[in-house]
Structure 1
Amino acid sequence: MKIVAIVGSIRKESYNLKLATYIQMKYHEKFDLEILNIRNLPFFDQDIENDPPVVVKEFKDKVANADAVLWVTPEYNGTVPGVLVNAIDWLSRVDKVLIGKPSWIVGASMGNLGTVKAQLHLRDILFAAGVSSPLLPGNEVYVGAVHEKIDQQGNLTHEPTVQFLDMVVENFIAWYQQYNR
């Protein structure tokens, strides 16, 4: 299975990027995960949506050619980061490459609640008409106090979180297989 990860933070030392990289490494035998870079996507502009810059075309092609999407979101001001919304705006226009594309969400923050509010908002966005991305139900991964659960090498060290993530990965694979029957 080919999965693309879209990380809603462009910070080089982002905990969410570290979480995506951890998932990429830990589960490499279960699926192929490519972490996409949204740093260079221009602001969505309807004036150029029919002939977007190459970076947008390449980004949309990678998502279109993937079997599924892993959304990895931080929480900014109680919601989804603007850079992530911008990426979704590009994906939801013209050829609408997310429609029918299975998704799952994880997120990490230094706060105790993880990314609860951001993930709730992201779920709403993923169900919007131009997006319509089916979402793994009931497997929310909110990594709160991430700075205490991840080491300098980017490994999750909090065993209950690792065990829960193991379960969610298995649930996603089973759900994806059933979804694609």
Structure 2
Amino acid sequence: MKFIGLIGSNAAKSYNRMLMQYMQRQFSAQVEIELAEIKAIPLFDEDQIEHAPQCVLDLAKKIEAADGIIIATPEYDHAIPAALKSTLEWLSSAAHPFKGKPVMIVGASYGNQGTAKAQENLRMILNSPGLEAYVLPGNEFLMGYAQDKFDQNGKLHAPKCEQFLTECFNNFISYVQCISHKTQQVSV
């Protein structure tokens, strides 16, 4: 099974990137997680939909080929970052790779509520026309105080957090298998 780990931040130092890198290492025996950055994706330009940047088309191909998508989002002002929103606008207009794809949302932040508002915002966006993703319900991984949860090597050193992440991830694998099975039945 292959997943794309979309890092929803364009910051040089990002706890969401650290979280995705940790997941990539931690769950490598179960699945392959290819990390995808959004740094190079330009601001969405509706006038350029017919001539989408190659980096957008490349990301769309990776998403289409994946069995599932994990999006790690920070939270700014109770919402997802503008860079992630812009990336999703490109992907909902120039291509439609999320349609019918299972998606897991995770997030890390400095505050005590994790990325609760951003994840709620992202769920709503992923359900919109043009994206139409199948977002894993009921498994919100909201890492608060991320600066205290990772060591200098990017390893999680919060056992309860690690346990809950593993539980959510295993639920996502089951969800991906269910969606895949459903899709195969419809195709037959």
User: TM > 0.5 between the two?
Assistant: yes
How many residue pairs end up in the alignment?
Answer: 181
Alpha-carbon separation, structure 2, partners of 1:158 and 1:130: 38
Alpha-carbon separation, structure 1, partners of 2:27 and 2:127: 27
In the other structure, the counterpart of 2:150 is: 150
Structure 1 gaps, min length 5: none
In the other structure, the counterpart of 2:41 is: 41
Question: CA 1:11–1:94 in 2, change beyond 3 Å: closer, same or farther?
Answer: closer
Q: Give the partner amino acid of 1:141.
A: F
Report the alpha carbon displacement of residue 95 of structure 1 after superposing the two structures with TM.
3.0
Q: Give the partner amino acid of 1:57.
A: L
- Answer yes or no: is 1:20 the counterpart of 2:11: no
In the other structure, the counterpart of 2:78 is: 78
Q: What does 1:42-121 align with in structure 2 at a 5 Å threshold?
A: 42-121=42-121
In the other structure, the counterpart of 1:7 is: 7
Higher share in helix: 2
Report the alpha carbon displacement of residue 94 of structure 1 after superposing the two structures with TM.
3.6
Alpha-carbon separation, structure 1, partners of 2:154 and 2:86: 27
In the other structure, the counterpart of 1:136 is: 136
Structure 2 gaps, min length 5: 182-188
Alpha-carbon separation, structure 2, partners of 1:176 and 1:135: 10
Once the two structures are superposed, residues 51-93 of structure 1 have per-residue CA deviations (whole angstroms, 9 ceiling, x without a partner) of 2222222121111211111010000111110000011011111
In the other structure, the counterpart of 1:179 is: 179
Alpha-carbon separation, structure 2, partners of 1:88 and 1:95: 10
Asked whether the 8 Å contact 2:126–2:133 carries over to 1, the reply is yes
Q: Superposition RMSD on alpha carbons, in Å?
A: 1.0
Q: Which runs of 4+ in 1 moved over 3 A?
A: none
Report the alpha carbon displacement of residue 148 of structure 1 after superposing the two structures with TM.
0.8
